Chain A
């Protein structure tokens, strides 16, 4: 059997849970990621105050028992905005990574299965798309269609595609050269059947790890785009836009510029640590130098 284990096998392997619980990065990452999901989930049923309700009389208040993280320039509760802001981060992360994962993996599998000029063409296309960082794509889309979260998601999604294509192709090529694939071929299985039955399950660990890391990058990109006014639009709270609003109030209320940044950094840190942990646990060959 190959040294690459399908994810199901790795997770079902004896001792996976014990190994996972002993892995420091994985545990910290999983806790931080769970907190992010919890914050977003909680915001649907409960927030300390309405994140949209303005109260100019209570503007720029420091943290207190009534407003745990204080209020912004319009008197809105910062803690409530942070909770609801987690939704935008997760929404963008899930859809943008989904676009990259589905399209990128399909292209990578196709390149690996077909080889020849199809592989060459797809790989040159991924090289070429590196010329457009997410912000540049988002700027082009905003210039044409106007700002909005959908454009931001599509731009970040497109930016994710070449990464997944490259990783899928490289990992799939390794699987195609295995003996059990040759055996499947000899037994009369077609390219599509081998791709679905052997290649895809064997590269799923790599894809899961990559998805976690790209999720973190998507959160950073969404925050940057929202900061620039190209992402989530008012009145929907988003961490990036909270920072942009806080910047003009830095002299009066410097803490306003701290909390959303901490939220972004903790979310990204959590996902990165989770990705590192999963990489070590699911596929020891990929474990980075420790």
Chain B
């Protein structure tokens, strides 16, 4: 296990370094003079030069990368041009919304997909299966931001059970916070669940043909217990693979859905920062999101080995 873990951690570190280089090249080197961008085309050359010196832009690119990468490790990411406050504080504040939103959405996705997938597999080729998979097919075709708008139309405009957006912070109480995130998380989760439900159904059908399932049935274990205890556990490998891949889609989805519901999360911060030409914030937001995707993929890799030790053995 330790060699397997060691190899995976090395790959993780190499991927994170490569990610940071790409983000730096695209968002720091490619735009040319960030000071000019920040001050606009009409600024005097002297003012631009002064700002460039203040921002450290007169240093060579490798030195700036080194400085930034060191900051990533220590948490010192510099100050936002637009807000004037430390970028790390801004990110932490916004993450307190984006992470609970992503976790809630993943929770909805998992619970819904497992229930629908297993139920459909248990009724293979019967009306329930065809109906549920038809619904899943439609769910996959629906853009999450449109589903979000439809939820607002029904629950905010018509029924007026929820506000159409906004988030007053966790200071108003956990209940109020969770209520504000419920519709956004649903809009992300339901669409993702449609994809995962199809994978779950296929994986469960595959495992149901195995000998041990027949043995368990022959022993007198009930259909329900066989499905949820024996089959599902063995069907989890493809399900977890897709869940790992879905996490990056989910993070991308939060960027869009935060904008639909006017939620002050990471996604909203990126757009405000692009509008403000606050490239230092954009760069760190993008790096944070990419790093989260890379780390989740790493966790999924390690989880495989925990669930199925054969995979680890074949990798050594």
| B157 partner residues in chain A, CB cutoff 8 A | 250-251, 254
Question: Inside 8 A of A142's CB, which chain B residues have their CB?
Answer: 274
Q: How far does the alpha carbon of A140 sit from the alpha carbon of B149 in the complex, in Å?
A: 26
- Tell whether B231 is near chain A: CB-to-CB under 8 Å: no
Which listed segment binds B: A98-106, A203-211, A223-231?
A223-231
CB contacts (< 8 Å) of B125 on chain A: these are 290
Kindly state whether residue A216 has any CB partner on chain B within 8 Å. Answer: yes
Segment of A5-13, A39-47, A50-58, A130-138 engaged in the interface with chain B: A130-138
Query: Which chain B residues lie closer than 8 Å to A254 at the CB level?
Result: 153, 157
Q: Which residue of B lies closest to A225 (CB)?
A: B256
Q: Does B80 contact A (CB under 8 A)?
A: no
**Which residues of B in the span 227-278 have a Cβ within 8 Å of any Cβ on A?**
245, 248-249, 251-252, 255-256, 259-260, 270-271, 274
Write out, one digit per residue, whether chain B residues 272-303 have a CB within 8 A of any chain A CB (1) or not (0).
00100001001000100111011001000000
Residues of B near A228 (CB, < 8 A) are 255-256, 259, 271
- Stretch of A66-74, A77-85, A183-191, A267-275 at the chain-chain interface: A267-275
With an 8 A cutoff between CB atoms, is B142 at the interface? yes
Instruction: Determine whether B143 belongs to the interface, using a CB cutoff of 8 Å to chain A.
Output: yes
List residues of B (144-195) whose CB comes within 8 Å of A's CBs.
144-146, 149-150, 152-153, 157, 164
Residue contact B26 to A243, C-beta cutoff 8 Å:
no
A179: chain B residues within 8 A (beta carbon): none
B196 contacts A by Cβ under 8 Å: no
Q: Is there a chain B Cβ closer than 8 Å to A264's Cβ? A: yes
Which of B30, B249, B259 meets A133, CB within 8 Å?
A: B249
Contact with A along B93-127 (1 / 0, CB 8 A): 00000000000000000000000000000000100
**B1-30 vs A, Cβ < 8 Å mask (1 yes, 0 no):** 000000000010001001100110011001
Query: A136 and B137: CB pair below 8 A?
Result: no
Give complex CA distance A257, B157 in Å.
Answer: 12
* A250 adjacent to B271 (CB under 8 Å): no
Let me know if B58 is at the binding interface, CB within 8 A.
no
**Chain B 127-147: CB-based contact to A (< 8 A → 1; otherwise 0):** 000000000011011111110
Contact B256 A135 (CB under 8 A): yes
Chain B positions within 8 Å of A201 at CB level: none
Tell me the complex Cα distance, A140–B19, Å: 13
B206 contacts the other chain (CB 8 A): yes
Q: Check B27 against A250 for contact (C-beta < 8 Å).
A: no
Our pick among B22, B201, B260, B270 for the contact of A247 (Cβ within 8 Å) is B260
Task: Report yes or no: B143 in contact with A128, Cβ–Cβ below 8 A.
Answer: no
Contact call B143/A220, Cβ cutoff below 8 A: yes
A144 proximal to B (CB < 8 A): yes
- Give the size of the chain A interface in residues (CB under 8 angstroms): 43
CB-nearest residue of chain B to A254: B153
List the A side residues contacting B251 at CB < 8 Å: 133
Inter-subunit contact A272/B15 (CB<8 Å): no
- 8 Å CB interface, A130-170 against B: 130-136, 139-144
Q: In the complex, which residue of chain B has the Cβ closest to the Cβ of A147?
A: B274
Is B141 touching A143 in the complex (CB atoms < 8 A)?
no
| Other-chain contact of B248, A128, A130, A224 (Cβ < 8 Å) | A130
Do A223 and B143 have beta carbons less than 8 Å apart? yes
The answer to whether B141 and A216 have CB atoms under 8 Å apart is yes
Flag if B146 contacts A272 (CB, 8 Å). no
What 1/0 flags go to A254-290 for Cβ under 8 Å of B? 1001101100111011001100000000000000111
B202 in the interface (beta carbon within 8 A) = yes
Contact between A243 and B248, CB atoms less than 8 A apart: no
State how many angstroms separate the Cβ of A197 from the closest Cβ of chain B: 34
Chain A residues whose C-beta falls within 8 Å of the C-beta of B11 in the assembled complex: 124
**Contact call B153/A269, Cβ cutoff below 8 A:** no
CB distance from A254 to the nearest CB of B (A): 5
Contact between A243 and B146, CB atoms less than 8 A apart: yes
- Whether the Cβ atoms of A144 and B26 lie closer than 8 Å is yes
B152 contacts across to A, CB distance below 8 A:
247, 250
Contact B286 A140 (CB under 8 A): yes
A105 to B145 CA separation, bound complex (whole angstroms): 31
Task: Find A227's partner among B30, B256, B297 (CB 8 Å cutoff).
Answer: B256
Q: Complex: how many Å from CA A131 to CA B248?
A: 7
- On chain A, the residues within 8 Å of B150 by CB distance are 257-258, 261
- How far, in whole Å, are A273 and B136 apart by their CA atoms in the complex? 12
Chain A's closest residue to B149 (CB) is A257
CB distance from B291 to the nearest CB of A (A): 8
**Residue pair B252, A128 in contact (C-beta under 8 Å):** no
Which among B146, B255, B270 has the highest number of chain A CB atoms within 10 Å? B146
Q: Does B40 contact A (CB under 8 A)?
A: no
B202 contacts across to A, CB distance below 8 A? 288-289
Q: Does B70 contact A (CB under 8 A)?
A: no
- Of the candidates B143, B248, B270, the one whose C-beta lies within 8 Å of that of A264 is B143
CA distance A91 to B51 in the complex (A): 42
Known: A139-B270, A289-B201. 8 other contacts (CB 8 A): A128-B18, A132-B293, A140-B286, A224-B143, A246-B149, A250-B152, A254-B153, A261-B143
Task: Enumerate chain A interface residues (CB-CB to B < 8 A).
Answer: 124, 127-128, 130-136, 139-144, 216, 220, 223-224, 227-228, 240, 243, 246-247, 250-251, 254, 257-258, 260-261, 264-266, 268-269, 272-273, 288-290
Instruction: Jot down 5 A-B pairs with beta carbons below 8 A, ordered by A.
Output: A128-B19, A136-B252, A136-B289, A264-B141, A264-B146
| B interface residues (Cβ-Cβ under 8 A, vs A) | 11, 15, 18-19, 22-23, 26-27, 30-31, 125, 137-138, 140-146, 149-150, 152-153, 157, 164, 198, 201-202, 205-206, 245, 248-249, 251-252, 255-256, 259-260, 270-271, 274, 279, 282, 286, 289-291, 293-294, 297
